[in-house]
Structure 1
Amino acid sequence: MAITVTPISERFGAEISGVDISRPLDEATKAEIRAAQDKWGVTVWRQTGLDDASHVAFSRIFGHVELAPRHKGKPPRFSEPELFDASNVDADGNIIDNDLRRLINAGNRLWHIDSSYMEVRSAQALLLCHSAPPMPAPTWFADARSAWDDLPQSMKDRIEGLTARHCYFYSRMKAGYPTTEEELDAMPHAHQPVVLEHKASGRRTLYLGNHARDIIGLSREEGRALIDELNAWMTQDKYLISVDYQPGDMSIWDNLAGAHRAGEFDDTAWARDMRRTTVREAGVEAADDHFSTMFNNSKRKAEEEAGIEAGEEAGVYTSDTV
């Protein structure tokens, strides 16, 4: 079954139609879908008909689907353990009213790459809308491959071979979450190349975003200035697309080819139920529950003072949400 690909912009993003992904697919169709994802970086699917189980099943055509992080004493909202909760509602569908969680989620409105704070990188993310507010609440995407292509050669030479340290709570601190640099020093970090080889397309890409805290070998001030400059370059209007959702719509993005951020909406007034699967970078071995391990090692003073288990009420276990 041939799929229909409608580009959103010249080099980045496409809407896909012509195939029912709620049903099992033949190998040729799976290969077409993977090829479109590798080429365009972001694909958008309307009225998918997916439920939780078929969402996870479809995700498996891209590779190993990660387990979402869990914490003690709080049952998951979903029956499928691979579903990351990217919503602002509780198990009964009520809007969650929690200031710490709201500060955590504010970090999602900064440009970031999902799981760049993990040594095991994430590739595809599949975000499915179950309910949406009446006004637009989009996800914005930045084309990091084209941003690399267009960099001046002098900047390419400058950043070639550099390594950045990424930390989940650095982006949260930037968004206002009460964390100190000293607390961050004790938290897990991941070492990532500033310039990444995107093997599936044969292109190169910038791999930064606001989880990137500093650059090895540079002073903190110089490293952060360089990160800010490259993030600003990557998120120029000419590299951006946005995707809005109605129930049943899904976006898939390649975290090895771009960055993204959540759009603004009043999350105190409107419920938004979004569920995401995360596919591990191909060819990488790791423990099945490594997200839970990372978050359990990231206790913050703010949560200790509030008597909160790591990630429980602050919404940490939603990971990167959009």
Structure 2
Amino acid sequence: MFSSSRQTLKYLHHVSASSTQAKRHLASIAPGILQAKPLSPSFGAEVDGIDWSRPLAPEVVREIVQLQNKWGVLVFRTTGLTDTTHVQYSKNFGALETAHAMNKPRRASLPQLYDAGNLGPDDKIIPQFSRAWWHTKGNGLWHTDSSFHQHRSSYSALRAVELPPVGGQTKYADMRAAYLGLPNDIKERIENLVAEHWIWHSRKLAAPQEFDKPTDGEKATLPPAYHKLVQIAPDGINKTLYIASHARRILGMADSESTSLIKILLDHAQQPQYQVTVKWKNVGDLVQWDNRCTMHRATAFQDQSNRRDMRRTTIHDHGPGAFGVKNLLSADDIDIRAGGKIDISEGATPETQTQEQILAM
């Protein structure tokens, strides 16, 4: 069915652009404390009405969750949060991940904060072409935070501490709308498929010369994870695609067919009609998104002349798909050598940007 990826992709784009399918269901929210200004008709909203100087009341937390289920991406301006209050805020939504510091030593003051900027532990700009610099280039690919963990994440909350004068926006893709835009035969084909997610796959896509062969330590620290391609969105109503640049292979498929299908789905999901772009305006801006129904990617800025300090908390998922499907798989399905059974340096990989685009990020 997927032997001709070019024809299938052309068909997918045609169907997606011209389809008269019903829009995905949007949950209604009773008037409350917060005000949401949509960024698009069904995806992304800028939210006002939170008093950031005090802990959130339970009813405010519930309303944020409702807005998150509806819009997927929420933008809060000039919150005034510090490292400590950022972490405290995020704990309203569940337990937090401890941020890994692989190839990029931690510089934030708390272990729950992932450093998503271009600064090293010495507070200087990370040098171009260093391993840490190449590692960050993976953020320019469409991805879903922590899909490479077996215990995946729900929300990410990214805060601006220092911003470059130009560039550095973040793009988001609505994976609920992307799923809805697929033709029915593709939906049926992928319904019960499982993808293997591996961070070193996305790093190899972004920097094939640097991450052609991950080290034994890298592979052991962050082994692959296994999640269904089609999930029920957090609202419990809509279906959503769960795929991103971390997805290395689809179980039960020949390598060429798996690579073709991953590329088709990624190319489909990153079409402009499924996207919104968030422009970072102020120090203290906070953007929170639901990784279970979105993808995102960083955009370019002058990373050797301008500083960009961004800090992110990541909340563990506590929903029905939180731990994926590894426990349902056989030993033959799982890469027991922590990403070593299949050599990702051989053969084609589903590129989402050219090397020239990645270098410009």
- Return the TM-score normalized by structure 2: 0.75
Q: What does 1:235-254 align with in structure 2 at a 5 Å threshold?
A: 235-245=270-280, 246-254=282-290
| Cα shift at 1:179 | 3.0
Q: Which runs of 4+ in 1 moved over 4 A?
A: 181-187
User: After superposition, what is the alpha-carbon deviation per residue over 1:23-56, rounded to whole angstroms, capped at 9, x for unaligned?
Assistant: 2121111111111011111000101110111101
Change (3 A) 1:298 1:163: closer
Partner of 2:190 in structure 1?
159
Of structures 1 and 2, the larger Rg is shown by: 2
Partner of 1:261 in structure 2?
297
Name structure 1 gaps, 5 residues minimum: 286-296, 300-321
For residues 151 and 199 of structure 1, the distance between their equivalents in structure 2, rounded to whole angstroms, comes to 20
Partner of 1:227 in structure 2?
262
Is the CA contact (8 Å cut-off) linking 1:38 and 1:201 kept in structure 2?
no
Q: For residue 188 of structure 2, give the secondary structure of its aligned residue in structure 1.
A: helix
Partner of 2:162 in structure 1?
131
Q: For residue 147 of structure 2, give the secondary structure of its aligned residue in structure 1.
A: coil
Is the CA contact (8 Å cut-off) linking 1:7 and 1:15 kept in structure 2?
yes
Name structure 2 gaps, 5 residues minimum: 1-31, 324-337, 341-360
Q: For residue 23 of structure 1, give the secondary structure of its aligned residue in structure 2.
A: coil
Change (3 A) 1:104 1:78: closer
Is the CA contact (8 Å cut-off) linking 1:46 and 1:250 kept in structure 2?
yes
Q: For residue 196 of structure 1, give the secondary structure of its aligned residue in structure 2.
A: strand
User: After superposition, what is the alpha-carbon deviation per residue over 1:284-318, rounded to whole angstroms, capped at 9, x for unaligned?
Assistant: 58xxxxxxxxxxx789xxxxxxxxxxxxxxxxxxx
> Relative CO higher for 1 or 2, CA cutoff 8 Å, sep ≥ 6?
1
User: After superposition, what is the alpha-carbon deviation per residue over 1:151-199, rounded to whole angstroms, capped at 9, x for unaligned?
Assistant: 1111101111001111101111111242337979966211111111223
Question: Counterpart of 1:179 in structure 2: which amino acid?
Answer: F
User: After superposition, what is the alpha-carbon deviation per residue over 1:235-264, rounded to whole angstroms, capped at 9, x for unaligned?
Assistant: 110000011212111110110011000011
With 95-104 and 173-182 compared, the bigger mean Cα shift is at 173-182
For residues 112 and 93 of structure 2, the distance between their equivalents in structure 1, rounded to whole angstroms, comes to 14
- Return the TM-score normalized by structure 1: 0.83
Counterpart among 145, 148, 155 of residue 179 in structure 2? 148
Partner of 1:105 in structure 2?
136
Q: Confirm whether residue 32 of structure 1 aligns to residue 67 of structure 2.
A: no
Q: For residue 261 of structure 2, give the secondary structure of its aligned residue in structure 1.
A: helix
Is the CA contact (8 Å cut-off) linking 2:231 and 2:242 kept in structure 1?
yes
For residues 59 and 44 of structure 2, the distance between their equivalents in structure 1, rounded to whole angstroms, comes to 22
For residues 89 and 233 of structure 2, the distance between their equivalents in structure 1, rounded to whole angstroms, comes to 22
Partner of 2:82 in structure 1?
51
| Cα shift at 1:2 | 0.5
| Cα shift at 1:279 | 0.2
Counterpart among 83, 89, 98 of residue 119 in structure 2? 89
Question: Counterpart of 1:84 in structure 2: which amino acid?
Answer: Y
| Cα shift at 1:76 | 4.0
Partner of 2:148 in structure 1?
117
Give RMSD over aligned pairs. Answer: 2.5
Report percent identity of matched pairs: 38
Partner of 1:42 in structure 2?
73
Is the CA contact (8 Å cut-off) linking 1:163 and 1:191 kept in structure 2?
yes
Q: Confirm whether residue 14 of structure 1 aligns to residue 71 of structure 2.
A: no
Change (3 A) 1:164 1:70: same
Aligned residues: 288
Partner of 1:191 in structure 2?
226
Change (3 A) 1:233 1:44: same
Is the CA contact (8 Å cut-off) linking 1:22 and 1:54 kept in structure 2?
no
